[in-house]
Amino acid sequence: MHTVTANGASIPALGFGTFRMPGAEVLKIVPHALKVGFRHVDTAQIYGNEAEVGDAIATSGVARGDIFLTTKVWVENYKHDAFHASVDESLKKLKTDYVDLLLLHWPNEAVSLAEQIGALNAVKEAGKVRHIGVSNFNTHLMAESVKLSKAPIVTNQIEYHPYLNQDIVIAAARKAGIAVTGYYGMADGKVFTDPVLKDIAARHGKSVAQIVLRWLVQQDDVIALSKTVGKARAAENFAIFDFALSADDMAAIHGLAKANGRIVSPDGLAPVWDEAA
């Protein structure tokens, strides 16, 4: 495992995500993920599983201080008072007095960005969160967040996989010292039948999932979220630090990007996305 340093935060480059993971699955797989070596766990208020994530960490045998824990405030909680109450509720569910990273989950024009960023800073100043960031922000919103924030923004968590070119967002983030955390790395399963990825995997003696995760973390300032409910797959997904992709491999995977590669763009939440160069 290696870490990504971003504006003062040291973040494990490979995280374990819990999106669309029912509580019972969280209780089964998160302790196992921690056992095989994961030290970065990602959840969110809207996932409805913070309590189970908290239970899983508490019973895992891994010290809380050794785990980088991320959660996200849902868009309906962005007004100042609701924001603070929601963070207190998240901490209670997660059975901890702080989270390592707190993100704004999606943009929400109904509440000023200044109020959102102000609330993030306030809970950080109160010691409830170690670091703050954003999720699903375009370059304009990311830049505005940096201007408005007293504390450094450490990551922008965005959809990122071989079929979606995110060079513009990554370049802007890097210039500001911000890491990019990529979710949906497996492109909703599309990567598993891709002949280019299957060929690279065969040549390295690795799975397609391992190749994609390695492609993500081998990029500077990029963090990858891995998600699975299978114990064998969790161990496999963690085993990506004993090999490297060649420059040709990296280029071939980047070359899979398509103009219509974006998968996640919900109406009423998604901003105007940056167009790929």
267, 81, 144, 160 alpha-carbon torsion, rounded to 10° = -50
161 assigned to a ligand binding site: no
Of 184, 186, 243, 194, nearest in space to 218 by CA = 243
How far is residue 273 from each of residues 18, 161, 235, 266, measured CA to CA in Å?
25, 16, 34, 12
> Is 160 labeled as catalytic in the residue annotation?
no
Name the active-site residue from 47, 78, 163, 184. 47
Of 108, 137, 101, nearest in space to 274 by CA = 137
Q: In a 10 Å sphere around its CB, with 0-12 CB exposed, 13-18 middle and 19+ buried, how is residue 198 labelled? A: middle
Q: Where are the alpha helices (DSSP H) in the chain?
A: 23-36, 50-58, 80-94, 113-125, 139-148, 167-175, 195-204, 208-217, 231-238, 247-254
Residue 53 is which amino acid? V
CB hemisphere CA count around 245 (13 angstroms): 26
| Lookup result for tokens 């994530």 | 53
Which residues are known catalytic residues? 47
Binding residues: 105
Binding residues for substrate: 105
